[in-house]
Amino acid sequence: MTLTVINKAVQLSELDAWGPVADMGSTVLEGDVQAFGKMTFGAPTDPVSSAYFGTTQGKFRMVYPFDEHATVVTGELVLTDESTGAVSRYQPGDSWFVTKGTPVLWEVVSESFVKHYFAVV
């Protein structure tokens, strides 16, 4: 068994480059949005996984490929649930849960942001 501490204030510079969010199935609407991450449990293709994930500033749309609980550790972003029109602003310490198949519009308003997530496919 392992206890993994989820650190607050993790910076983008502490994560590995994962490439453009467009390569992950997102549609970029503004900026050159680059993704970064570091796994804390499992692998991205596992049915259950967790990781730090962050991006550079910009705006993009994605349809969630899994159920996810996430907490922002650095930065600020606005998420719009395009299925309901609900808009929410997130800062460090704020969390959300989203279900697989939900279309979400992301707007990273700070220079970058990092979240920690737990995902189930």
- Model confidence over 7-26: pLDDT tens digits? 999 999 999 999 999 999 99
- pLDDT of 1 above 90: no
88 has a pLDDT exceeding 70: yes
Tokens of 38: 């570091």
Q: Band of the pLDDT at 44, cuts 50, 70, 90?
A: confident
What contacts 13, CB < 8 A, 6 or more positions away?
Answer: none
- CA 58 – CA 79 distance, rounded (Å): 12
Q: With a cut of 90, say whether residue 2 has pLDDT above it.
A: no
Q: By the 8 A CB rule, do 104 and 98 touch?
A: yes
Q: What pLDDT score does 113 carry?
A: 97
The model scores a pTM over 0.85: yes
For the chain, the structural domain boundaries read 26-120
- The answer as to CATH 2.60.120.10 being correct for domain 26-120 is yes
Residue 94 clears pLDDT 90, i.e. is over it: yes
User: Bridge partners of 71?
Assistant: 95, 116
Give the span between the Cα atoms of 98 and 42, in whole angstroms. 20
